[in-house]
Every structure is written in structure tokens, then in C-alpha cells.
Structure 1
Amino acid sequence: MNQLLEELRAGLWAVWNRRWLALAVAWGTCLLGWLVVALIPNTYESETRLFVQLDDVLAEQIGIGAASRARDIERLRQTLVSSVNLEKVVNTTRIGDSVSTPTEMEAAIERLTEDIEVVSEGENIFEITASSGRGDLSEAENAELAQTIAQRMIDIFREENLGSARQDMQESIEFLNQQLAAREAELAAAEERRLAFEAANPDLIGGAQAIAQQLAATRAELRSVEADLAASQSALAALEGQLSNTPRVLVTPGSGGPQASLAQAEAQLAAMRARGLTEEHPDMVAARRTVANLREAAQSSGPTGGTNNPAYTTLLSMRVERESNVQSLQSRAAALRSEIAAIMASQAREPGAAAEAQRISRDYDVLREQYDQLLQDREELRLRGQVESERNAVQFEVVDPPTTPRSPAAPNRPLLLFAVLVLGLGAGAGTAYALSKLGSTFATANQLERSFGLPVIGTISHTFTEAGRELRAKRLKYFAAGVGGLGVMFVVLLGVELIQRTTVA
């Protein structure tokens, strides 16, 4: 600890012993630093805030979602400081007055990129900060230029959000109209080819798939007709059996003659059949023979005796109806078989034509689907454009207009002036201390003793005469004046800076 204090004392003595050199270095450093700080142009910033509302019920109904609009706004924010937009700013402000070549334009755009900052505050607020610190302009002109740049950025934001969107929408609709015209011509040609093919091959309309469907439907209908025919034939056979067992006339008591005997014989024959006797049974054979003889006798003798059986008459009419139904079903089944044969013949005869029909139908369906989809897209796009143009799904509002800067935002000149003062004093003291280390003198007896390794018997104090003391006091005053001059110069420069800040714009 004692050694540290001793080193500190030695350092202070070395600086004090070369105080004039330290003062000169401090003055030189401060004057040079303050000159550099004075040459730094002031930079003025103008800020503005924009509010973007993305909620709109009608826009949501037609498919313009808030997420889609948010992506569009984010894209606009990122492209707002593009070279094309910054070139517009250069051409519409006084920056373009000094730009005459493409190289100068590139340099102006590059510098303007550093002077403009776009920051998102939350989801709906955008803050645009424009700065200007050009040495060829005055303080008031730099402040005005910063505000003008901020205003131009607002105008570009509005143009990109509204004007560009409308132009893009019109170009998209025009492109869809061209595609629709081309598809319409192709669709008309495909329809003409299909109509010509159908006229030349009416039995192959729809292609192989349609023919297969027609064949399957015809076969299904034939199976249904055959089932109905089998049922009708079965019903007719049952009716024939019932008719054969029903007597044609009814024998009444007291009646006689062949008709009555015939009715009685037929009743006996029916009774035998009811008992389950076969047709080869002797009784059945004899009964049938008797019935046949009596029928011949009744036909020869005419209708005498007995009354007509109404049940028999009813069964006869039913048989006629069922025979007619069976014939109708047989005719329909024959027609369906003929149709199936014709379809199969066409399918086997023209396989290439069937494939061509299928290809034509497929091409037509594809073109029709594309045309309908393009038409739907165009109408949706047109409706979306009308909503964006008339209702404006993005509500754009300037929350804070571009501010007029009253004081420079950079540099922080008071802080820089103070830093130069501290640097100058430090440079002077450091120079004096460094020179003391290069010399061969010792500030204290302990340093001398440590350097040579020999004990120091004593030291001699520095004494002054009366004239020396007066000269020393005078020099101290001069030194204090020099140090105080630095402080006064700092205060003066600080006051000038404050005055300039209050007189801007």
C-alpha cells in the first residue's frame, strides 16, 4: 500500500514538474478535438406514426382475411425503403438538385437508406423516422428536409397501399380476361369436334364408358323383364289349371240331357284330380274318355239344360289378360335382347371410335372445368377489387404528422465537448508522465534506493529566494490562467451550442 501511494506521489510530481508541457498538449488536443466536433454537421430527425386498421366484415366475407392484409402491409413496410421508392424521394426533394449522374443517384440512395428507418409498433402502428444532416445545408434547411422526407414516405406508403393495389388488380383482371378468351376459343373448337363426332357416330356418344353404362343398364332392364315374364307365365299356368277344374255350366236339379251329364262327368273328373290320381290311372283314363264323349254329344245336341258358370267366364277373361301381359313381356324381352346385341356389335365393331369418343369427351370436360374456374376467379377478383377500392379494407390514418425538428437529434455536442476536454487533460497528463519515465531522475528517495540497492543517507529540500518565490507565484498564476482558459473555452462553446439549438427553424 505504501509503495502504491509512493508511485502515485511520484506520478503527480512528474506531471507537475512538466506541467507546462502537459498544459500545451491539453490545449492542442482540446482545440483540435473541438474543431473536429464543430465540423460535425447537426442531424435533424422528423418522426411520424401511421395507424393501419385491418378489420372489415365485408372483406372477410369475400375472402380478404386480416392475415392476408397483414402480410401485404408487412411487405409494404419491408419494401418501403427500396431503391425505387427512395429514388422517388430523391427526385421530389431538394436532394435531387445536386444529382445529375447515375453514380450520384446511387450514392444519394445509399445515404438515404441510412437516414430512413421504418419500425413496427405492435400490429397496427408504424413509425417512420427520417433524418438529415448534410453539410451543404443550413440548420433550418436540414430540419425542413427531414420533415419533407418523412412526408414523402407517407405519400409513398399510401400509393403503395392503394394505387399499386388497384393497378395490380386491373392487371390481374386483364390477364384473366385474356386467358378466358383463349379458353373460350378452345372450348368452342372442342365442342364442334364433339358435335361432329356425335353426328357421325350416334351410337358411340359418350365414349366407351358411356357405352358400357348403357349396356349394363339394358342388361339390368332385361333381367327385370325376364323376371316379370317368368312370374306372368307362372300365374298363367296356375290360371289354366284352375280353369280346367272349373265346370263351364252348372247343373240344376231337374235338368237332363248331354249338358247335364257332361257337367256331372267333369265334376267327377275334377274330384279325382283333387284326390291326387294321376293322369295314367284307369279311373282317370275312363273319366276323361267319358267327358270327351259327353262333350261331343253336348256339342252335337246344342245348349240344352243347365246354366253357364260365372266363375268360368271370369277365369276366361283373366286368362286373356294374362296371355296379353305375357306376350307384351316377351316382346319387350326380345327388343332388349336385340338392343344388347346392337350395343355389343357397336362396341366390338368400333373400338377405335369408342376411344376417340372418350378422348373428345375428356378434353371437352377438362376445358369446361378450366373455363368455369377462370370465370369464377375473375368474378371473385373483380368483387375483391371493388371492395378494396370503394370500402378500402385497409383503413389508413396518420396518427402523428411529421414533426418539425427544433433541435438536432445528433450529435450530442455538449457531451462531445466535455469528452474532448477530458481527453485533452488526460493527454497532457499522460504525455508528462510518459516523458518522466524516459528521464533519469527520481521523484523520491525510496525510488533511488530501490534502483541502486544502496541506502540513501538523506535528501536536500528545494529552497527558493525571495525573487524565486515571486517568479514561482507568477508562473503558478499563468498556469492557473491556462487551465482556467480551457474551462472558459468549454463553457463558451457549450453556450454557443445551446444558442444554436434555440434558433433552429
Structure 2
Amino acid sequence: MNNLYDELRAALFSVWHRRWLALGVAWGVCLLGWLVVAMVPNSYESKARIYVQLDNVLSDQIGIGRGDRKSDIDRVRQTLTSAVNLEKVIRRTAIGEDVKTPKQMEMAVLSLGKRIKVEATQDNLFEITASYGDGGYSDPKNAKLAQDIVVTLIDIFREENLAGNRGEMSQSLDFMDQQLAQRQKELETAEQKRLAFEAQNPDLVQGGVTTLQKLETLRSDLRTIDADLAAAQSALAAINGQLAGTPPTLPGAGPTGGARAALAQAQSDLASLRARGLTENHPDVIAAKNQVAALRPAAQAEAANGGGGVPNPAYTSLQSIKAERQANVQALMARRASVQGDISRITSLQISNPQLAAEYQRINRDYDVLKGQYDKLLQDREELRLRGSVETEQSAVKFDVIDPPTTPRAPIAPNRPLLLFGVLVIGLGAGAAAAFALGQLRSTFTTTAKLERAIGLPVLGAISNAVTDAGRELRAKHMKYFIAASGALGGLFILLLVVEYVQRGMVA
């Protein structure tokens, strides 16, 4: 422990003994370091926050959803710091005053791109940050340039989303018009080809309807006629059944006239039961049949005795309905025969001219495809035109600058006071290290212990330094000079700090 203490005392004595050397080295290192720190330009930072509103009822109605708007804004945000936009910033600010060649522009764009940051702090909130520091400009001008950069970026953000959309929409509409013009020419060519074919082959086309289309129409009509004919035949069969169970005449009045009337009523009831769908084995049907069988002899006897009757009105009405339905069935059958004849004729025409029919079918197919494409393009163009009108005239994106670009008051880099103090500490340390190193190179002994270790013999004592009065006065004078030089170094450090804060005040 004593050896360590002695070594520390020896080191401090060595440095103090060569204090002028330490002070000179400290002065040199500090002056050089402070010069380097002074050459580093101050960088100033400006920030702004933008709120983007995406809601619009009209946009939602035509299909411009919130997701589409958000993707557009994300795209603009990601491309905001592109080389093209950074070049716009340079040309619109004072940075472009010193840019004369493409190489200088390229270097300026690369440098500016490292100083700009655009990030989304929330869904609809964006923060734009820009810093700038150039040794060729004064601090107030660097601070103003940082603010100008943010202002220009906000303008570009708005232009890219509004004017950019207008430009893209105009280009899209021009492209759609070109495609429509091309499809229109192709459609006119196909239409002329179809008209020429129809003029050369009038048998295949009648009234603008092709044989295939007419054949399909006739087949559909035939299916309808068959269904109507089946229904008419069923209705006629029902009328025939009702006529079979209805007597042509009604019995007249007389002592035995009741048997014939009862028989007619029983037969009518039996016919009604059968019309309801009851089988012959049903109890009600069996009872009705037995009643008819029982009444028949009495009715025959009554007829044999000369009992008369009157015409049955129901029977007469059923006869007229039957005649009407028979006429309907005959008309449907005649129409069916006519349609079948037309189908046979068209089928035979196709069989006799299969190549012409196939060619005309191909021509119509090509025409239908081109017409479908043209109609689809026309609809898409109108939808795109409407969407463009909404985006440009009723824009769903509303910009609101929450925090305008800030005016920098103090530089963000470098931390000059800390750097100045660090240079001072390094300078003092370098001076002390130089004095200590020089002491180690000189063959002197600061303590008796070091001398004993060096010669290997015991040292009996040491004689202290004797100083005369003149020597003391000279030492005091030198000490004053040393203190003044040390104080000047500290004063220069304080002066540099004062200058730094004065410059900051001038920017504010």
C-alpha cells in the first residue's frame, strides 16, 4: 500500500515538475479540438403533424372504400421521400441555389434523404421530421431551411394525393378511350361481315333472326303447345266423364214419375263419388251402386208405362262446353303440326347447307363476343369517369395540419457545450500524460525507495532542495504565469460556451 502511495506521489511530482509542458500540450490539444468542434455545423430540426380524414358518404356509394383511400395514402407516404420528390424539395427551397450540375443534384438528394423521416404515429396521423445543417449557411438560415423542407413536403403530400390522382385518372380515361375506339372498329368490321353474309344467304336469315335462333324458338313453342294440348285433352276428358253421368232429360210429373227421378239422382250421386276418386270397393260407392240397381226396374217400368220427361239444362250446358274444348284441342293440334313442319323444314335446310350454317354461327359468335367486350368497356369507362369526378371534385381525403412546421430554436446536433468540455478534459489529460511520459524517459529518481531498487544498495538519506530568496521570487513569478496561463485556458473555454449560447439566442 505504501509503495502504491509512493508511486502516486512520484507521478504527481513528475507531472508538477513539468507543468509547463503539460500546460502547453493541453493548450495545443484544446485549441485543435475546439477548432474542429467549431467547424462542425449546427443541425436544426423541424416537425409537423398532419391528420388525414378518410370518411365520405358519396365515395362509399360508388365503391371507393375506406381501405382504398388508406392504401392510397400509405402509397403516397412511402413514396414521399423518393428521389423525384426530394428533387422537388431541393428546387423549391434555397438548397437548390448552389446545385448546378446533375452530379450535385444527385449528391444533394442522397444527403437530404437521410435527413427526412415520415412515419404514421396513428391510423390517420402522420408526422414529418426534417433536419438540416450546412456549414456554408448561418444558423438562422439552416433553421429556416429545416422548416421550409417540412412545408414543401406537406405541399407535395397534398399534390401527390389530389393532383396525382387527377393525373392518374386522366391517363386511365385516355387508355379506356383508346381501347373503346379499337373495339369499336373491330365491332364495325364484324357487323359489316355479318351483313354481307346475310345478304348473300337470305334463306339462312329471316328478319335478322338466324336459323339456329329460329329453330330454338320453334322448339320452345312446340314444348309450350304440347303442354297446352295435354291440359286441353285432360279438360275434354273431364267433360266427357261429367256428360256420361248426366241424363239428357229430366222425368216428368206423374204417379210413377218419382222412380225415374230417384234413379237419375242416384246415378248423379254415384258419378259424383267416382269423380271424387273413390274406388269401386269404397262403401259409399257400393251403397250408391246398390241404390241405382234397386231403382232401375221401377224406372224401366215407369218408362214402359209412357212416363215423359223434359230436357236437362245441365246436360245442354255440358254439351256446349265439350264443343268448345274440342275446338281448342283441334286448334292446338293444328298449330302443333304447323310448328313441327317449320322445324322439319329448317332442319332439312341445315342438313343441306351445314358449312354455311356453321360459318354464320361463327360470325355471330365473334360479333357477340366483340359486342360484349365493347359494352363492358363502355360501362367501365363511365364508372371510372364517375369515380374520377368524385375523387377530384368531392375528394374524400381532407387534410388538417394539426401541428404546423415548427421553427427550430436550438440545434439538435452537435451538443457543442458537451463537446467543448470533453475537449478540455482530453487536453488536460493529454498534457498530464505527456509530462508523465517525459518523466519516465529521464533517468532521475523522485524517491529514495526507487533509488534503492535501482542500485540494490541501502540509501541512508536524502538532501532536500535548498532555494535562495531570489529563487523563491522567481518561482513565485513563474507560478503566477502558470496560473494566468491556466486561467486563460479556462477563460477561453467559458468564452466559447458564451459564444455558443449567444448564437443560439440569435437563432431564436
Q: Give the TM-score normalised by structure 1.
A: 0.74
State the shift of 1:428 in Å.
1.5
Aligned to 1:359: 362
Aligned to 1:425: 428
Aligned to 1:275: none
Query: Which has the higher mean CA deviation after the structures are superposed, 353-362 or 482-491?
Result: 353-362
Shift in alpha-carbon separation, 1:465–1:194, aligned structure 2, 3 A? same
Aligned to 2:151: 151
Whether the 8 Å contact between 1:132 and 1:146 is mirrored in structure 2 is yes
Aligned to 2:32: 32
Whether the 8 Å contact between 1:15 and 1:22 is mirrored in structure 2 is yes
Aligned to 1:497: 500
**Could you list the runs of 5+ residues in structure 2 that have no partner in the other structure?**
252-305
State the shift of 1:35 in Å.
1.2
Shift in alpha-carbon separation, 1:448–1:187, aligned structure 2, 3 A? farther
Alignment of 1:82-481 (within 5 A): 82-197=82-197, 200=202, 201-202=204-205, 205=209, 210=213, 213-214=216-217, 216-217=219-220, 220-221=223-224, 224=227, 227=230, 327-328=330-331, 330-441=333-444, 454=456, 456-458=458-460, 460=462, 462-467=464-469, 468-481=471-484
State the shift of 1:205 in Å.
4.5
Query: Which has the higher mean CA deviation after the structures are superposed, 161-170 or 181-190?
Result: 181-190
1:310-329 deviation digits (Å, cap 9, x = unpaired):
68x96998887777566545
Whether the 8 Å contact between 2:219 and 2:343 is mirrored in structure 1 is no
Whether the 8 Å contact between 1:50 and 1:396 is mirrored in structure 2 is yes
Q: Quick one: distance in 2 between partners of 1:94 and 1:104?
A: 14
Shift in alpha-carbon separation, 1:172–1:483, aligned structure 2, 3 A? same
Q: Quick one: distance in 1 between partners of 2:324 and 2:53?
A: 83
1:86-108 deviation digits (Å, cap 9, x = unpaired):
32333333333323222222233
SS of the residue aligned with 1:55?
coil
1:292-321 deviation digits (Å, cap 9, x = unpaired):
xxxxxxxxxxxxx9999968x969988877
Shift in alpha-carbon separation, 1:136–1:45, aligned structure 2, 3 A? same
The one-letter amino acid paired with 2:129 is: T
SS of the residue aligned with 1:367?
helix
Of the candidates 486, 491, 500, which is equivalent to residue 488 of structure 1?
A: 491
State the shift of 1:27 in Å.
0.7
State the shift of 1:24 in Å.
1.3
SS of the residue aligned with 2:507?
coil
Q: Quick one: distance in 2 between partners of 1:365 and 1:151?
A: 56
SS of the residue aligned with 1:503?
helix
State the shift of 1:434 in Å.
3.5
1:374-403 deviation digits (Å, cap 9, x = unpaired):
223222222222223333211112233333
Q: Quick one: distance in 1 between partners of 2:383 and 2:397?
A: 18
Aligned length: 449
The one-letter amino acid paired with 1:70 is: K
The one-letter amino acid paired with 1:183 is: R
Q: Matched residues, percent identical? A: 52
The one-letter amino acid paired with 1:67 is: G
Shift in alpha-carbon separation, 1:500–1:330, aligned structure 2, 3 A? closer
**Could you list the runs of 5+ residues in structure 1 that have no partner in the other structure?**
251-304
Aligned to 1:299: none
State the shift of 1:449 in Å.
6.2
Q: Give the TM-score normalised by structure 2.
A: 0.73
Shift in alpha-carbon separation, 1:236–1:151, aligned structure 2, 3 A? closer
State the shift of 1:484 in Å.
2.3
Aligned to 2:256: none
Query: Which has the higher mean CA deviation after the structures are superposed, 84-93 or 487-496?
Result: 84-93
Q: Quick one: distance in 2 between partners of 1:198 and 1:459?
A: 139
Aligned to 1:68: 68
Aligned to 1:77: 77
Whether the 8 Å contact between 1:207 and 1:356 is mirrored in structure 2 is no
Aligned to 2:20: 20
State the shift of 1:443 in Å.
5.0
Query: Which has the higher mean CA deviation after the structures are superposed, 396-405 or 495-504?
Result: 396-405
